[in-house]
Amino acid sequence: MTVLPDARRAVTLDIEGMTCASCVARVEKRLLTVPGAQASVNLATESAKVSVPDDADDEALLAAVRSAGYDARVRRAGAREADAAPARAGTSLGTRLIVSAALAVPVIVLGMVPTWQFPGWQWVSLGLTLPIVLWGGWPFHRATFVNLRHGALTMDTLITMGTSAALLWSLWALVFGSAGRLGMTHEFQLFGPVHDATALVYFEVAAGVTVFLLLGRWFEHRSKRTAGDALRALLSLGSQDVILADVKGQDGPTVPIALLGVGDRFVVRPGGTIATDGVVAYGSAAVDESMLTGESVPIAVDPGSSVTGGTIAVDGRLVVTATAVGEQTRLATMARLVEDAQSAKGATQRLADRISAVFVPVVIGIAILTLLVWLLLGQPVAAGFTAAVAVLIIACPCALGLATPVAILVGTGRGAQLGVLITGPEAIEAAARVDTILLDKTGTLTEGRMSVHAVITGPEVDRDAFIARVAALEAASEHPVARAIAALVERPAAVSEFRNEAGRGVVGTVAGALVFARRADAADTDALPDVLRDAVRAAAGTVVLAGTVRAGAEHVDGVIILTDAVRPDSAGAVAELHGLGLDVRLLTGDTASAARVVATAVGITEVTAGVTPEAKLAAVRAAQAAGARVAMVGDGVNDAAALASADLGIAMGGGTDAAMHASDVTLVRDDVTAIPTAIRLSRRIMGTIRGNLFWAFGYNVAAIPLAALGLLNPMIAGAAMAFSSVFVVLNSLRLRSFH
């Protein structure tokens, strides 16, 4: 719990039992009934962030959640999102799925193959089916009861209704009908009235539906378990310990980061992570801010410069005065942005729930109408009740249980073969609907590493000798720019008296000459020879001035221009995205000139440059507010919040863990052409799912009139169920041919 400035405090609740967007809405509504409470519920992490007055009672919050039908507990201090309930739920579902599937196989085989129905088979089926329906299917039944308390009908309601009807009817037929006699088998008769309705059992329906739906729910939970990983990846960037600085700026004791306060001074050693946000008091260094900007070139800092916690001092020692700690740091703010974005994305309603909200009352209505019509026609109550129950059984969504998970499993499996990892149903639905795609530049459209674009030498300067000297000098440095220049020669010469001027450049002796290399400053331009001055002013990249020190003065012999090279397949990928009807835009933290060069090379006209992580998030939300369905593609920590907030987040495979965890799709092969592949595959999967749902309901609906008329033979029911399920599986397997 964190004390807020306005005498309020933040409480995090871990909530168990939420399965859909309607659950989130109910929990939020109940939490808001607590006086002064402001709540945001996250389905992905099964948690709620609640702001309450300082004197509010936590028990009131827990009682509010429980009144909505869910369990809750206050998260202990220091716990993170990854410690929440989804992992436990996923493990429980996995156990239920494995056990239920093992028990269901003989039940389904015995129920569908009359020649294998040995004496007493129906009693064996009962023993195997009871734990499947009552224990394996408990997550569905519990959700049904919770939803019914609030007048909601969902997919869970349909599952409970169908499996319960099949199980209870079969149990009644065994005990009070003729289905329990030894030697009974299902008669093989496709058409005509049922001679003895009390001899019918539907254990295979109850068992099969439960297992198939458990499979779908397990897959859904597996994707939800990764939701907290984005936050963990962001938070892991921060330091756990910090070296305090004494009054002279020297190294002091090492203490846990939690003991660092605003105004304290701490030390950052070369190559070390900056512990928290602050201002440089002493020292100079090149700081790798790629987690914020996404750009690979470190930024020079010196006394008075602001630095951000989680960034890395590539070279040089710094003494920093802390200006923000804990929840107030920029890194913590980015983590909150990711969490808030994931919470908003959790509001996507499942397609099956929307269908069930209509289908369930219609089926119940038909069953009641069937019973009434039979009674009005003067038929026996038992016959009317049999027909009504048959309607409920035939409406049980056996094929519906396969419609979504099989298509997803086959489609995502094919995607993995193509280097595209899709997290789950919501990602597929979002990918199929996007109409606008925002592309990060560095690491997405470009290689994500510096390379030499051009070497320009001054008048009367030997170009080869110039390159050899500078490459040898830079080979002694670990700076990303230095490594790119050093790669110009295969075997660089030895360097002596090497000196790293932190945040500025390097100096050393090569073959008897004192050589320097440093980044260009604006003040340098006028003093350069014309050819070098023109090159610097026209450059759209990082500019390094290099030369020799003669008579105590620097003489610039040449200019090296470095850029982040455009991937060779970027232009083709952008063209394919345009061909898919997508509005393609470039969104980058790099300079406008560098962004424009890349945009022109790949065929993008709309460019937004120089944006911070917060500005990237704002750009995504602005596009959404304008009615666009947005996909965001990126690879850096600075993209994480935008990836999480977009309707679809796509992370490049070579990117950071934070970006991958915040995204819905990860491109494993780090190939930009996989972006349109992911969009096309998702559209294909969604088309397959819609076709599966249509036929799954179609077969059930077609058989309902037979049930209502009392013509439901178990072989007809079994054939309809089997054929609809086989059709759904075969239709889904067509996704294996996607390319």
Spatial distance between the Cα atoms of 44 and 26, rounded to a whole number of angstroms: 16
Ramachandran bin of 378, using left for φ above 0, alpha for ψ from -120 to 50, beta for the remaining angles: left
Fold of the CATH domain 2-79: Alpha-Beta Plaits (3.30.70)
Element (H, E) at 341: helix 330-345
Spatial distance between the Cα atoms of 227 and 159, rounded to a whole number of angstroms: 27
Q: Which two tokens stand for residue 468?
A: 């050899």
Angle at the Cα of 293 from the Cα atoms of 287 and 294, rounded to 5 degrees: 100
State the pLDDT at residue 5: 43
Spatial distance between the Cα atoms of 299 and 285, rounded to a whole number of angstroms: 8
- Could you tell me where in the chain the CATH 3.30.70.100 domains are found? 2-79
Closest-CA residue to 408 (of 431, 391, 385): 431
State the pLDDT at residue 126: 94
- Could you tell me where in the chain the CATH 2.70.150.10 domains are found? 238-334
- Could you tell me where in the chain the CATH 3.40.1110.10 domains are found? 447-565
Residues in the chain with pLDDT < 50? 1-5, 78-83, 85-88, 90-91, 190, 192, 227, 344-349, 714-715
Cβ neighbours of 625 (radius 10 Å): 8
- CATH code at 427-446+567-678: 3.40.50.1000
* CA distance between the termini of the chain: 50
- Among this protein's residues, is 156 annotated catalytic? no
- CATH code at 238-334: 2.70.150.10
State the pLDDT at residue 439: 92
Spatial distance between the Cα atoms of 213 and 154, rounded to a whole number of angstroms: 13
State the pLDDT at residue 334: 64
- CATH superfamily label, 447-565: Calcium-transporting ATPase, cytoplasmic domain N (3.40.1110.10)
State the pLDDT at residue 291: 62
State the pLDDT at residue 113: 79
- To the nearest whole percent, how much of the chain has pLDDT over 70? 79
Give the helix, strand, coil percentages of the chain, each rounded to 5.
Answer: 50, 20, 30
Question: Which ranges of 447-591 would DSSP assign to H, the alpha helix?
Answer: 463-474, 480-486, 530-538, 570-579
Angle at the Cα of 711 from the Cα atoms of 707 and 716, rounded to 5 degrees: 80
Cβ neighbours of 113 (radius 10 Å): 11
Nearest 5°: phi and psi at 632?
-115, 130
Closest-CA residue to 616 (of 407, 424, 439): 439
Spatial distance between the Cα atoms of 43 and 342, rounded to a whole number of angstroms: 9
For residue range 258-301, list pLDDT tens digits in order. 888 899 999 999 888 898 989 999 888 888 876 655 566 677 88
Q: Which two tokens stand for residue 197?
A: 């309705």
State the pLDDT at residue 714: 47
Helix H, strand E, coil C: the string for 235-258 is HCCCCCEEEEECCCCCEEEEEEHH
Q: Which two tokens stand for residue 608?
A: 């937004």
Q: What global pTM score does this model have?
A: 0.60
| Catalytic annotation, pick one of 264, 440, 590, 671 | 440
